[in-house]
Structure 1
Amino acid sequence: MNSIAALDSGTPYHIVSLHKKPFNKFFSKVIYIPELQIDDLHDVDILIVTCASSIEKILEHKNIFYEFLKAGKTLVVMGRNDAELWLHDVKLSKLPFNFWWWLDKKNNSIDIEVSNADYELFKYINFNDMIWHYHDGYEPMNGAISVIEHKIQKKTIFLDNKDYYGGRLILTSLDPFYHHGSFFMPNATKFAEAFLRYLSKMELYK
């Protein structure tokens, strides 16, 4: 099982998602982000910057993330983290926002689609369980696989770059830990658990 660390900004939704069942069993470490040091990560394979973390603290620790990547490790960045401000080569693309997708039982308004059906995450979850809403998208990145994207504008909602500054970057504009920890949107819980199972067994690239 891969060693996974998650960053905790101390919010109620982080505390619920990272320190309590059912997700806490997946983490070898939960690190309070103001106290993050590179030495904390020597025995960690995968570091998750969880949804809606403190952008101020992320920017303070930006160099640590690149040291981690340079060691051939995997950085996972979830939604609502202003990734375009601190990740090289990441460009945000504004997309329409429908907060109430999760109540659209017929999925008539869903405007995203799977763009890489062979991606291994889909062994753990189906696409319908990945739909609640998303927070904008990203321009396609050279060398990255776009896994989920906007149907019309072709901006990526979930990407995987296995050759990113010495390591691997998984980036998404989905925010499952925020919604699970806020006790609403059941699909966010389904996705987070499946995503963590995938990460725990994922082949590492070093």
Structure 2
Amino acid sequence: MTAVEPFVRTDNAPQRGRRLAIVHSGSYAHLYAMKDPAVLAYQPDFVYLVDLDDGGLDGYDTVIVGDRLHPELVARHAAQFRAVAERGNTLVVLGENAVHTWLPGIEWEGRPTNFWWWVTGEDPMIRTRSHEHESWQYLTSKSVIWHHHGLLRTAADVVPLLVSEEPDADGRPHDAGMMLYEDTVTTPGRIIVTTLDPMYHHGSNFMTGATRFLYALLRWIDQT
């Protein structure tokens, strides 16, 4: 009698070598993004900020701090967030999180939010920079030029990716501050900071550029 070979499954997906955590607030916008198949494709672990324990982010190669989190809870866990990059991994901080209060060396300057510049025909003064940078293999102008909630500055030699080009005292255009940058110099790891709030607008079904940015950001950090 011929021996029967044991059944072995061949359709199991391989285990990913990298682990992604997305820290969220449980808001409707975050919950919407957390059910989006395009987000789930990156197999993230969703970490509820309220339940985050000490050491809860250990072992993750990439941590995204979702936008518009509770400021007191962010401050309480700021050391954990910083530790991600200090271990040599990737920390991504989305907008409206007062990052200047818990990441060292950052200055913040608020700006009025213009939701409708594309309707009124105004120049949003948002400009892309560092076009040779790897991020532009994933980002596009449509994914980053919508609106923002202020400008960031730092003396560190970071890579500016999105800036506000405004007139100086003599009326000449200059880069007044950044809305998106990558920092690979202040820690052994990588810190990506933006004043854009893509999860909020994606989950609110308002601002198509925000959805493009969220998807492109996930591709960028996954591939690099």
Is the TM-score greater than 0.5?
yes
Aligned pairs for 1:75-154 (under 5 A) are 75-101=91-117, 104=118, 108-152=122-166, 153-154=174-175
Shift of 1:42: 3.0
2:42 is the counterpart of 1:20: no
Q: Tell me the percent identity.
A: 27
SS of the aligned residue for 1:39 comes to coil
Shift of 1:99: 1.7
Which residue identity lines up with residue 180 of structure 1 in the other structure?
H
- For residues 199 and 70 of structure 1, the distance between their equivalents in structure 2, rounded to whole angstroms, comes to 17
Shift in alpha-carbon separation, 1:169–1:127, aligned structure 2, 3 A = same
Q: Is the CA contact 1:162–1:169 (under 8 Å) kept in the aligned structure 2?
A: yes
Gaps of 5+ in 2: 1-15, 167-173
Which residue identity lines up with residue 141 of structure 2 in the other structure?
F
SS of the aligned residue for 2:205 comes to coil
Aligned pair count? 200
Shift in alpha-carbon separation, 1:33–1:166, aligned structure 2, 3 A = same
Higher relative contact order (CA 8 A, sep 6+): 1
- Worse-superposed segment, 31-40 or 145-154: 31-40
- For residues 201 and 144 of structure 1, the distance between their equivalents in structure 2, rounded to whole angstroms, comes to 20
Which of 179, 183, 186 is residue 208 of structure 2 equivalent to?
186
Shift of 1:110: 2.2
- Worse-superposed segment, 92-101 or 141-150: 92-101
- For residues 107 and 140 of structure 1, the distance between their equivalents in structure 2, rounded to whole angstroms, comes to 31
State which structure, 1 or 2, has the greater radius of gyration over its C-alpha atoms: 2
Gaps of 5+ in 1: none
**TM-score of the two chains, using structure 1 as the length reference:** 0.89
**TM-score of the two chains, using structure 2 as the length reference:** 0.82
- For residues 158 and 80 of structure 1, the distance between their equivalents in structure 2, rounded to whole angstroms, comes to 13
- For residues 20 and 42 of structure 2, the distance between their equivalents in structure 1, rounded to whole angstroms, comes to 7
Name the structure 1 match of 2:191: 169
